[in-house]
Structure 1
Amino acid sequence: MICFVPDFTVEHKKIKNMKKLSYIFALILMSSAIVNAQFGPPPGGGGGDGNGRNRQNNQPSTPSFESNAPKGNSKITGYVVDSALTGAVEFANISLINKTTNKPIDGTIADEKGKFSMSKIAVGEYKLLITFIGYDNKVFDNIKIEKGKDIELGVIKLSPSSKMLEGVTVSGEKSMIEEKVDRLVYNAEKDLSSRGGDAADVLKKVPMLSVDLDGNVSLRGTTNIKVLINNKPSTIVASSIADALKMIPADLIQKVEVITSPSAKYDAEGAAGIINILTKKSTIEGFSLNIDSGLGLRGSNLGLNGSYRSGKLGVTLGGFGRAFYNKAFTTLDQSTLQNNNTVLTKQTADAQDNGLFGRYNLGFDYEISKKQSLAASINFGTRNFNRGQDYTTNLFVNEKLSSTSFRNVDSKDNSNSIDVNLDYVRTFKPQQEWSISTMYSQNNLTNNFDADLLNNAKTLVSRQRNLNGNVNKEFTLQTDYVTPIKTNQMFEVGLKSIFRKVDSDYQYLFAGSTGAFASDAKNPAGLLNYTQNISSGYVSYTYSTKNKYTFKVGTRYEYTTIEANDQKGNIAIPSYGNLVPSVNISKSLGGNSTLKLAYNNRISRPGLQQLNPNFNAANPQNITIGNPSLKPEITNNVELSLSTNINKTYLNMSIFGRQTNNSILRISSPSDTLAGAIVTTFQNVGKQQTFGTNIFGNVFLTSKWSLNGGIDLMYNYLDGQVVDATGKYATINNSGWTLGGRIMTQVQLPNGWGIQGFGGYRGNQVQLQGMQGGAGMYSLGLKKDLPNKKGSIGLAGENFFGGMSMTSTLNSAQFNQVSVNNIYNQNIKLTLNLKIGNMKFVEQKKTKGVKNDDVKGGGEATN
């Protein structure tokens, strides 16, 4: 019989309800046989992490072992690892045996890092049995518990078994996709084809997410989301999500969490939810150095990540850099009605993109005592993105050629950011802790361009320059307290303050074909000083019942004050308060299925790209300008989902609805002064409704071959007010269906070889005045592990048959626009990963961190 276990994160308690499934049934039989053979019947239950929590949904669970054994106040902890130190032995079984009766009285299962903990152990003498399929059993014969004293067993090495049960082969493989009570987890470290890329390349493959050609991310059809990095915000994300993703190498990402129904503990920002990108962290003691590199036709990368840990102190130092080159070709066809004339614009542009992105970090953690820890980190990011575009523009007035112009534009999108964190955690007992977290973040952002205007003879006529500097600062202070109530309840409470300040200065300069630049009288200089302070508090309560219901309810109150001024004086933006409730209900069904119902209320405050009043006219036929008077959006979300395991297949099916009032929408209209030009800004003029379904699954075709994918189907309805041809406001609406999906397959080949393929399509996105086109993408990766898994080499390619293309349309009574963006995003790359160092596994120190979830993403971003 062949037995394959696709995901050992399945709870032991749930496994007992799945005996009809052969591969799980075999696991139970073998585990039972091992324990029975030496100590009698195994202890029952045991789906927790040793601290009274359910691993899969992170909720309080009922005790796994119900016996009449006396209870005490001692604890046993340890770490189970492979004897070759190649990794933790995830979900090893630990049984505590009464030495007198030789019967089990308690037990648990190790977590993903190999850690286990058993508490409330009475004084006495015991045996401890550690088992896992494919390893020899480990027995501690003399465990002596004294009153009030804990036992720390440290690192426990299991040796691979020299003999297997006859006819039985078991393989353990963490699933690419995991589901928890309030989030979906994508294990990006298993993604072969994204090596050498950036975070956007990873997010393209995450269920429920869509990434367009410019790197803008949407969740269930909206870009109104919040992106966190290691549970923490960064001002680089507040400025531009797309640009921030380019600064994070794919090789650095361990997993991506998609949180569609955030609890009250999270800030109320992000209509659709939160995306949390978790990077690889050190869980080793000693010295280690990891080298990640890639060399490709379109992009190359180099990363060094070193760590040193000894005793109570751990230090990490890392740096990752990525350089890329890409070409693009765009076309623009738009017709406008201006001064009773029909002006037709036909424009083409060749583009060359060059980028250099880096992210560097220094961090330490220190264990003050057994129950107190301190952690700090400094992260520095840099972005240097240059785009050269050569425009050819033909203007036709009433169907007659009026002019031809040539414009060469060099745009510079440069920034540097710094994030500093200091966190303190005080643990009183398992699950009961108090924390204080602080963060300072600053991003200095420059968006400049230089333009040369040429005549028909391609001779330089004049020059134009736009200088646009921005500084975005944040300081955050928060405190959280969490405590269990009995064994099946949890209470959380916290306070938080965020202090934000955005300063933007911009000006246009003009010069002839020679000579110095001077102020452009047609485009006066401007500024924006924007201060936003947010005070908030939350309470959250979780309750689990014996019949497998879990209720998580909470509420959060946020009060926001804003002060803003531009060159004309103060901008009146009133303060506002919001009460934000959230409800999450889950029910564990028979056959390893879970049904979940969730409701939450969300706030979306405008981000820097929506606020900045700089008149961006790099392309004078297609201009964007921000609006500093924007107010926040308020969104109501409801979701119903069902997840289940059927034999070797994991399925998740969900339906959801979302309504946003006071929606921030992009509004376009013809320019009053530039012939044939369209000006786009942002207004609180709309209502947005979205209804849809997500279906995705993960199936193991064989023990070495997996297949996963999903389909997203949504219906969007938008209505809002725009200015009509008479200059008055008129209500318009637009609606339509959006269809997208993705599919990925992985095959493990002999001798350390592996192959992965991916294909995905992002469907059309409905806008108030038109439609943003969809795009397809695909990739293929091949990897070979080096001896002793000290690294790997690989080859990957993406979009190698012609690149990608996206067509978008805008329509109104005054204009029509069709734009086509062709990005030759073709790449073939070699990847190399090396691991150097003398290391052993230790407990990863618990840290808290700031999570600012409250700035609306979106807006234009360059690739």
Structure 2
Amino acid sequence: MKFLMLIITCFSFGVQAQNTEVTGFGIRGKVVDSVSRRPLDFVTVSLKTDNEASVRTAQTNADGTFVFQTLPLAKYILKVASVGYSPKSLTIDFVSNGLKVKDLGTINLIAVSSHLKEVVVTASKPLVSQEIDRISYDLQADPESKGQNVLQMMRKVPLLSLDADDNIQLQGNSNYKILVNGRPSSMMERSPKDILRSMPATSIQRIEVITNPPAKYDAEGLAGIINIITSKKLDNGYNGSVNASYGLPSGGPGVGGSAGMKQGKFGVSIYGGISDHNNPATESLTRRRVLGAEPSVLNQNSRSEGDSRNAYLGSELSLEIDSLHLISAQFNINGNRSETESAQRSGLTESDEILQAYRLDNRRNGRGNGMDAGLNFQLGFKSSKNRLLTFSYRYYRFSDRQNSNLLVSERMNFFNPDYRQNNLSRSSEQTLQVDYVHDIGKLNIEGGVKAIFRDNNTDFGYDSLNTEGVFARDYSRTNQYNNTQKVLSGYNSYQYSLKSWSFKVGFRVEQTIVDADFVSSDTQVKQNYFNLLPSLAVNRKLKNNSTINLAFSQRIQRPGVFELNPFVDRSNPAFETSGNPEIKPVLINSYQFSYSLQKKISLYLSASYMYSNTMMFRVSSYDSVTNVTRSTPKNTGSARLPGLNYNVRFPLTKKGDLSFNGWLGYGMVKGVNNGIRVKNEGLMHRMNVSAGYRLENSWKLNGGLYWYGGNISPQGRSNSYISSSLGIQKDLVKNKLAFSASASNPFTKYRNNRQEISDPNFIQVNDNQVYFRAYNFNINYRFGKLKEVLKKNKRGIKNDDVSGGGGL
């Protein structure tokens, strides 16, 4: 920390000496967005006399600043205007006040949507905006958000897509970190798609995609960070929204919403929801063909159905003690329950002769819960309003329990008894963090230190039915596993902004110490590694509201508790899956060049290239002795992924618009499985097309088409599919009450999801039936009218250093 503060102090003296003085009578100031506090460039600043005679006109620089110099002694009216914001006027009187230079400080502009005769939109908030290190998608400016959940809306967000199982992908990659309001949340740790599916899009303000995170963010998440912003605009009073939905035959009822209240210097915002998601009965087929001297064929036919329930509640509180001291806190809880029943028939043949057959009935239930709480104290300085020091603490925990009860019948040469298996995974962590930020003219300096202490443990057991008809513990398949992890880090970053250029450079150092202990077998695994991770971004503002960006970053993927957990899932006797406690972290390099244009046509293009020589892939191998295929993650692969992202939106007519959002990539992956080199490569793509049309009397039509182009891994690939949807929306009470209904794939009941896996020893195909047809109904109600954002600490804990599984 002393080293960081020394760098900051030295830089401060150097830059302060370069400040220029205004000559003659002068006016200066800085224009920012009232919500995000982001400097606004290319804002028109007009200076007129008190009788409205024009004197001068200028535009703000990249850092939002403007200066008028050598002015005559007079009274002036200064007007600030920008598309999408309410104009502001200020009076400056040099004659009466005796000042030579008027420093207006920070001028806040409030974003609005302007309408002409409540029908024709003359200026509206852009859906997509680009900053030097992120892309933002404004859900509140998208009319479709009133009838969609957050997961559905992610198909429209640049750089994001959904795979065949509705798992989120960032630039075609499944390894990333999800934050809520810039902070980690326990609700996103286990299965974020279940929470996001139950979260109404109207409760979300915007989604930020950070593909090249600056040094202040933890380095975990190979593809980057998805930041979901729920905070609403607040002033003294209250506001909020409530959404009720129902989906059938797949899906079910759900209720969610958000609310905020501010009274004086105290404010609070909350969001939450509850849902029940039903999965109707579907069928699946698995076929494995073993090659070599003793070829065999395994066929498994299954039928399953299930139900899951999710609930979540999040809150943020803020207390502004005075202009220099701010306390904020957050608290989140969530829980889920699931029940699944399946029946499977399995048959193993060799040369058309049945070697083994059985029926397996599995009743599986799971439950999980999580919570996190944080406290932040922000300290300002009288000498400079642009200096902030923040102290933060966060506690987080979650648990996940899975139980399976498996009964075997219709046996033929299958002698395994009935059995039960259970697995309890728990994780907790504490985080301490100190951040310092200092703006000196056009230079922004940030530094900080952080310590994370994690404790992960699993307790898994296997009980089999003995000859006495009692389930007894099988200790050869039972174990307890503890894993403690310490991550100590520090960072320093600098951003320098000119009129048309912005530069951001930083580095982050992280020391990771891991101690793993297998309690039952009395064995240990220790890891200790150090990483120096640089980041660089360059932004160039062009004419006509266009921008280009160039960025480079190094990211790391640490295995989480689910990848490390050695629990062996034997719910299917022919296929076993497990974690790997000896898995190592993965380092990836990412390059990105992007271009954005925000005019009548909104355009975003991004070319990227990511590569890693130590990728973590889940590999499958066949054991000819037991006739079992085993799957586990290993550090055995390398990957190259060049890609192109595109997002285009343009008006078709005065009442209709069309948008395209997609990704195109060519994956090249290699690996080693049982000493045999395997590799695969191929084209992958995702594309979402959506259209909207405004009818009379506040009716709206929208439709969509989604094309998923499959995925590849070192041992195989998945198939492609096309999905369609059509919806209608009606404002029953303007800006207050809205109804929407939609139909997805009304003429196709099921979709087939195919996964192919192979190596020199076997070929395996999994065909899973997915319920495709769906009808959804939504009612959304908004209340209140507020303007000012709930004030929050500008720095806080962002534990984005552990993420989900890897792969392309």
Match of 1:738 in 2: 684
Match of 2:304 in 1: 351
List gaps (5 residues or longer) in structure 2.
1-34
Q: 2:389 aligns with which of 426, 434, 443?
A: 434
Q: 2:52 aligns with which of 27, 36, 39?
A: 39
CA distance in 1, matches of 2:625, 2:178: 38
Give 1:632 deviation, angstroms.
0.4
Calculate the TM-score normalised by the size of structure 2. Answer: 0.86
Q: Secondary structure at the match of 1:751?
A: helix
Contact 2:171 2:223 (C-alpha < 8 Å) held by counterparts: yes
Match of 1:789 in 2: 735
Q: 1:64 aligns with which of 57, 63, 66?
A: 66
AA matched with 1:845: K
Contact 1:240 1:857 (C-alpha < 8 Å) held by counterparts: no
Contact 1:337 1:815 (C-alpha < 8 Å) held by counterparts: yes
Contact 2:481 2:517 (C-alpha < 8 Å) held by counterparts: yes
CA distance in 2, matches of 1:332, 1:43: 74
Contact 2:466 2:472 (C-alpha < 8 Å) held by counterparts: no
Contact 1:192 1:782 (C-alpha < 8 Å) held by counterparts: no
Pairwise mapping of residues 200-599 of structure 1 onto structure 2 (< 5 A)? 200-246=151-197, 248-281=199-232, 283-288=234-239, 290-297=241-248, 298-327=251-280, 328-337=282-291, 340-428=293-381, 429-455=384-410, 463-486=418-441, 488-511=442-465, 515-520=469-474, 524-546=477-499, 548-566=500-518, 567-599=520-552
CA distance in 2, matches of 1:836, 1:311: 20
Contact 1:233 1:853 (C-alpha < 8 Å) held by counterparts: yes
Q: Secondary structure at the match of 2:67?
A: coil
C-alpha deviations, 1:426-457, integer Å up to 9, x for none? 23345432222221111011122121212169
User: In structure 2, do the counterparts of structure 1 residues 420 and 109 end up closer, same or farther at CA, with 3 Å as the change threshold?
Assistant: farther
Q: 2:804 aligns with which of 857, 860, 863?
A: 857
Match of 2:620 in 1: 668
CA distance in 2, matches of 1:169, 1:65: 36
Match of 2:753 in 1: 806
C-alpha deviations, 1:237-264, integer Å up to 9, x for none? 3444445544644443322111111111
AA matched with 1:180: E
CA distance in 2, matches of 1:693, 1:13: 28
Give 1:110 deviation, angstroms.
7.7
AA matched with 2:669: L
C-alpha deviations, 1:494-543, integer Å up to 9, x for none? 1111111111000011226994421136x521121011111111111111
CA distance in 1, matches of 2:723, 2:55: 50
CA distance in 2, matches of 1:45, 1:832: 46
AA matched with 1:663: M
Match of 1:24 in 2: none
Q: Secondary structure at the match of 2:68?
A: coil
Calculate the TM-score normalised by the size of structure 1. Answer: 0.81
CA distance in 2, matches of 1:180, 1:776: 33
- Name the stretch that deviates more: 185-194 or 737-746: 185-194
Give 1:210 deviation, angstroms.
2.4
Give 1:36 deviation, angstroms.
9.2
- Name the stretch that deviates more: 511-520 or 388-397: 511-520
CA distance in 2, matches of 1:570, 1:245: 39
CA distance in 1, matches of 2:638, 2:203: 39
Give 1:467 deviation, angstroms.
0.9
**Quick one: percent identity of the two aligned structures?**
27
AA matched with 2:722: G
Pairwise mapping of residues 642-681 of structure 1 onto structure 2 (< 5 A)? 642-645=595-598, 648-671=600-623, 674-675=626-627, 677-681=628-632
Q: Secondary structure at the match of 2:579?
A: coil
CA distance in 2, matches of 1:664, 1:264: 24
Q: Does 1:608 align with 2:561?
A: yes
Paired residues, number: 763
AA matched with 2:513: T
Contact 2:79 2:87 (C-alpha < 8 Å) held by counterparts: no
AA matched with 1:473: S
CA distance in 2, matches of 1:311, 1:201: 37
Give 1:701 deviation, angstroms.
2.4
CA distance in 1, matches of 2:89, 2:324: 15
AA matched with 1:559: Q
Match of 2:716 in 1: 770
C-alpha deviations, 1:17-61, integer Å up to 9, x for none? xxxxxxxxxxxxxx98x979962227533447xxxxx5xxxxx34
CA distance in 1, matches of 2:544, 2:92: 35
Contact 1:193 1:796 (C-alpha < 8 Å) held by counterparts: no
CA distance in 2, matches of 1:308, 1:291: 15
Q: Does 1:749 align with 2:695?
A: yes
User: In structure 2, do the counterparts of structure 1 residues 265 and 822 end up closer, same or farther at CA, with 3 Å as the change threshold?
Assistant: same
Q: Secondary structure at the match of 1:351?
A: strand
Q: Secondary structure at the match of 2:526?
A: coil
C-alpha deviations, 1:639-659, integer Å up to 9, x for none? 1122234x6212222221111
List gaps (5 residues or longer) in structure 1.
1-7, 17-30, 49-53, 55-59, 70-97, 127-142, 724-728
CA distance in 2, matches of 1:756, 1:849: 39
C-alpha deviations, 1:805-852, integer Å up to 9, x for none? 321100101111111122114221221112345x54334213243211
C-alpha deviations, 1:35-88, integer Å up to 9, x for none? 79962227533447xxxxx5xxxxx34x2233336xxxxxxxxxxxxxxxxxxx
C-alpha deviations, 1:238-292, integer Å up to 9, x for none? 4444455446444433221111111111111111111112224352432445321
User: In structure 2, do the counterparts of structure 1 residues 695 and 399 end up closer, same or farther at CA, with 3 Å as the change threshold?
Assistant: same
Contact 2:398 2:426 (C-alpha < 8 Å) held by counterparts: yes
CA distance in 2, matches of 1:672, 1:280: 56
- Name the stretch that deviates more: 201-210 or 606-615: 201-210
User: In structure 2, do the counterparts of structure 1 residues 852 and 123 end up closer, same or farther at CA, with 3 Å as the change threshold?
Assistant: farther
- Name the stretch that deviates more: 222-231 or 308-317: 308-317
Match of 2:76 in 1: 103
Match of 1:835 in 2: 782
CA distance in 2, matches of 1:247, 1:533: 34
AA matched with 1:376: A
Q: Secondary structure at the match of 1:66?
A: strand
Contact 2:48 2:76 (C-alpha < 8 Å) held by counterparts: no
AA matched with 1:742: N
AA matched with 1:232: R
CA distance in 2, matches of 1:36, 1:389: 79
